[in-house]
Structure 1
């Protein structure tokens, strides 16, 4: 489709992750071992389905943030590995549940678990992974870390329900949409960043800084995903281009295009999003309208704004290799559309 703009930035964004990956590589090897161990079960379907999703790609950014945040404050125990694994299991469970709710067919170029094993198995294995995550949190023995991650799990579930409320609703406001992604995406990033300093015994000010960094990083990350759905590439995004459109998702580029459009353009959006007339020709027109009204550019602008807030949150902290890596992570998130 000729109007699709190149927003890939893949090589550039991958390069900015190098410092974080190097700092956490030894701990991530232990996380990966623990993932495989804790995804095991005598019930054959559970490890089979879990391995399908766990092995399907993804950079595992959230657990790397947890590990680096613990390192940043001199943590020397074993708890950060269990907490990082818990974070990854929570994320994986959310993906399983999301694909069922969204009726998604593909993720990262592969069939979703629900397409292979069905909705019921996907939901139940997601629940199993959440249970394993909470067992590991308990093993760490930090009530504060348990409180942060359990609260995040509750907020994520609320976000899922909020998303159902705005599904295919073109009257959704930008504030309402931001509330959804704060719950669905930013809450886990925020918790992942905060639990490291918690178990390292960092000050409340340091914890608050990491919490703010994570929350705003999560908002930036999701808004960039919103933009990439209308002009990225499948390997970078982790799903097929236009999936949000085909599923009738009201993301920020849609909200801005609809509100800025003419009466005739709004009729098109209603037909596409609310009535499901979302073939390739409709997607091509949707992208053209987004560019006409600056919706993709403004979505990226919002992402950059939250990225700057995340950067400012880190600024007062002592300079460490981990802090520098976190600045890189912000660049990575925004750089996917550079």
Structure 2
């Protein structure tokens, strides 16, 4: 499956996260040191569980957004280091909790923490990381940043509960699903980007621009992840193609294919998802139906739509290397499906 993505200014090279990585490298070194420090505890199991996931190879895109957004507005203190670390701890805690709720065995190709240490340890270490995150937020002295990240934590939890309420329900609508990913995924992207201009003391228009950018980037990011589960390669995913299907997750390619299918097609989806009949043979049928009803192509089209909104959100800001890097991240996230 190939998708042509229109890039800015006639670019034809592959979009990359490297410009963002390069701009934030020195600050990310400080973030990584703080992560190791704040994940430490006299209770041996806490750093073991935390470091299992922290060291598992994620790109750490969310904290880089915080750093780049603060740098963009000339911030020279160290509050953005603590906020970026808080963002990463919130993300890590969410993953620990997610894997318990979803009963996941693998994450990024490795056994999940719950498979090694159990569900209780995963949940409690996630809670420890959230506590550390909030302590660092308070240390920055910014009530606005604390408010934004605390609100995001509440929204993420709401998204988890909402996902539970629609789990394995084939009558889930596209709007229902967008509400889930807006809360579970996009809210943290939005908060991560918004606290950058907050800590830099910038005005509400900059905050609004970065928040909109983060929210829509997060939506695009998750929709591409949905598509990759049915159209990617295991080496790129850090998991097996079709894992969402095997876990009975209802994502947008499935919703679109179900809605557009015949009564016979819908009966298949109910058996596969609601009744848990997720054999390899049924996965092949699911892939065929998603292809037949353009489930992947239309999911990617929606991701591109949100990517365009994210790009528009940054457009009024002055030109800079940071702005260009944040723009390129949008294309990078979407081009993962090529």
> SS at 1:206's partner residue?
helix
Matches of 1:13 and 1:26, distance apart in 2: 26
* 1:294 counterpart = 2:297: no
Q: Flag structure 1 segments of 5+ consecutive residues without an equivalent.
A: none
> SS at 1:317's partner residue?
coil
| Cα distance per residue 1:11-46 (max 9 Å; x no partner) | x99851110000000000000000000000000000
Is contact 1:13–1:332 with CA below 8 Å preserved after alignment? no
Matches of 1:55 and 1:13, distance apart in 2: 30
Please report how far the alpha carbon of residue 303 of structure 1 lies from its aligned counterpart in structure 2 after TM superposition.
0.2
Matches of 2:208 and 2:52, distance apart in 1: 36
Matches of 2:138 and 2:213, distance apart in 1: 25
The number of residues matched between the two structures is: 331
Is contact 1:114–1:122 with CA below 8 Å preserved after alignment? yes
Is contact 2:186–2:216 with CA below 8 Å preserved after alignment? yes
Q: Flag structure 2 segments of 5+ consecutive residues without an equivalent.
A: 6-11
Correspondence 1:111-130 to 2 at 5 A: 111-130=111-130
Matches of 1:24 and 1:96, distance apart in 2: 26
Q: Report what 1:194 is aligned to.
A: 194
Structure 1 segments (4+ residues) deviating >3 Å: 12-15
Q: Report what 1:40 is aligned to.
A: 40
Is contact 2:231–2:296 with CA below 8 Å preserved after alignment? no
| Cα distance per residue 1:258-277 (max 9 Å; x no partner) | 00001111110000000010
* 1:132 counterpart = 2:135: no
Matches of 1:275 and 1:100, distance apart in 2: 20
Matches of 1:255 and 1:106, distance apart in 2: 24
Q: Report what 1:253 is aligned to.
A: 253
Q: Which deviates further from its counterpart, 69-78 or 15-24?
A: 15-24
Structure number with the bigger relative contact order (C-alpha 8 A, sep ≥ 6) is 1
Is contact 2:214–2:310 with CA below 8 Å preserved after alignment? yes
User: Structure 1 310/15 Cα, relative in aligned 2: closer, same or farther at 3 Å?
Assistant: closer
Matches of 2:255 and 2:15, distance apart in 1: 32
* RMSD of aligned alpha carbons: 1.5
Matches of 2:211 and 2:329, distance apart in 1: 15
| Cα distance per residue 1:242-262 (max 9 Å; x no partner) | 111111111100100000001
| Cα distance per residue 1:206-265 (max 9 Å; x no partner) | 110000000000000000000000021234323322111111111100100000001111
Is contact 1:50–1:125 with CA below 8 Å preserved after alignment? yes
